[in-house]
Amino acid sequence: MSNVTETDAAVRGVFGRTVMVAGATGEAGHAVCAALADAGANVVAVGSKMDKLAGVRAEHRFVCDLADGGAVEELVRAVHHEVGSVDGLIHLVGGWRSGHADRDWVWLEERVMTTLRHTSAALRNDLGASEAGRLAIVSSTAVDKPTWGNANYATLKGAAETWVASIASAWAKPGNSAAVSFVVKALGDEEGFTPVEMLAERVVSLWDAPAFVLNGQRIRL
């Protein structure tokens, strides 16, 4: 449990919630984990290498190959045993490659789609049973205007959004859980890009709004 007090966290909705960040070792992962920790969340950081996880602000750190369904099931069992049930899944695993070649499709599909399917399916019951369940991914404006030169990436990001929307449909009856897709051109500090700090704040704010307002939304940043 985070040692941030309720007063310190300004009573954010995520205070005391257990949130798993998948793909926690990248720049976005560091920012999201730090923002969640500052808000009093119990952060579970997941990455592929423990040495990279060491610098991530989190109460709990787990190494897992999220493209391996069996490994993800073992991860969730370990989290349940060591931490408890999970209130949020922030999926930040990804990458970018242009074009439409088979080898690039395989590389992207494993990172963008397979890891999302495995983690969200394994945690769907937790999120659905939570008093404040949240699932979020980062998608791309490439979905809005796909090109042949970016066909693999746009197609897979679109598929990821569809997967999230499918989960949202199961939570369509007003309740406590919500699944959303954040949409960015890219993450970074360049003009037109979304700073990771902005993404991190929007992740934290998911617990400050009612689930029925958020569920199924495609949120542009």
Q: What is the pLDDT of residues 14-47, one digit of tens each?
A: 999 999 999 999 999 999 999 999 999 999 999 9
CA pair distance 76, 54, nearest whole angstrom: 20
How many domains in the chain?
1
- Torsions phi, psi for 83 (to 5 deg): -120, -50
Mean pLDDT for 63-76 is 98
- Percent residues over pLDDT 70 in the chain: 95
Q: For residue 44, is it within any domain?
A: yes
Residue numbers of the domain that contains 147:
18-220
CA pair distance 79, 44, nearest whole angstrom: 8
Mean pLDDT for 195-212 is 98
- pLDDT class of 126 with cuts at 50, 70, 90: very high
Q: What is the DSSP secondary structure assignment for residue 65, as one 8-state letter?
A: -
Which one, of 133, 132, 153, lies nearest residue 144 by Cα? Answer: 153
Q: For residue 158, is it within any domain?
A: yes
Residue 6 has pLDDT above 60, yes or no: no
Phi-psi region of 26 (alpha: psi -120 to 50; beta: other; left: phi over 0): beta
Q: For residue 184, is it within any domain?
A: yes
Q: For residue 8, is it within any domain?
A: no
Q: For residue 4, is it within any domain?
A: no
Please report which residue ranges of the chain form alpha helices under DSSP H. Answer: 27-38, 50-53, 69-82, 102-108, 115-129, 151-170, 196-205, 211-214
Q: What is the pTM assigned to this prediction?
A: 0.94
Mean pLDDT for 111-127 is 98
Q: What pLDDT, on the 0 to 100 scale, is given for residue 9?
A: 54
Residue with tokens 């399917």: 117
Residue 203 has pLDDT above 70, yes or no: yes
- pLDDT class of 4 with cuts at 50, 70, 90: low
Q: What is the DSSP secondary structure assignment for residue 18, as one 8-state letter?
A: E
Cα separation values, 121 from 9, 41, 117, 169, Å:
30, 22, 6, 14
- pLDDT class of 174 with cuts at 50, 70, 90: confident
- pLDDT class of 153 with cuts at 50, 70, 90: very high
Q: For residue 3, is it within any domain?
A: no
The pairing of strands 18-22 and 88-91 is parallel
Q: What is the DSSP secondary structure assignment for residue 206, as one 8-state letter?
A: G
Residue 8 has pLDDT above 60, yes or no: no
Residue 45 near residue 63, CB atoms below 8 Å: no
Q: What is the pLDDT of residues 74-117, one digit of tens each?
A: 999 999 999 999 999 999 998 899 999 999 999 999 999 999 99
Average predicted confidence (pLDDT) for the chain: 95
What amino acid is encoded at 75 in this protein?
A: L
Q: What is the DSSP secondary structure assignment for residue 188, as one 8-state letter?
A: S
Q: For residue 90, is it within any domain?
A: yes
- Both tokens of 150, joined, read 């970016």
3-state helix, strand, coil in the chain (%, to 5): 45, 20, 35
Q: What pLDDT, on the 0 to 100 scale, is given for residue 1?
A: 52
Q: For residue 11, is it within any domain?
A: no
b/e per residue 158-172 (b: at least 16 CB within 10 A): bbbbebbbebbeebe
Residue 5 has pLDDT above 60, yes or no: no
Q: What pLDDT, on the 0 to 100 scale, is given for residue 11?
A: 83
CATH of the domain at 174: 3.40.50.720
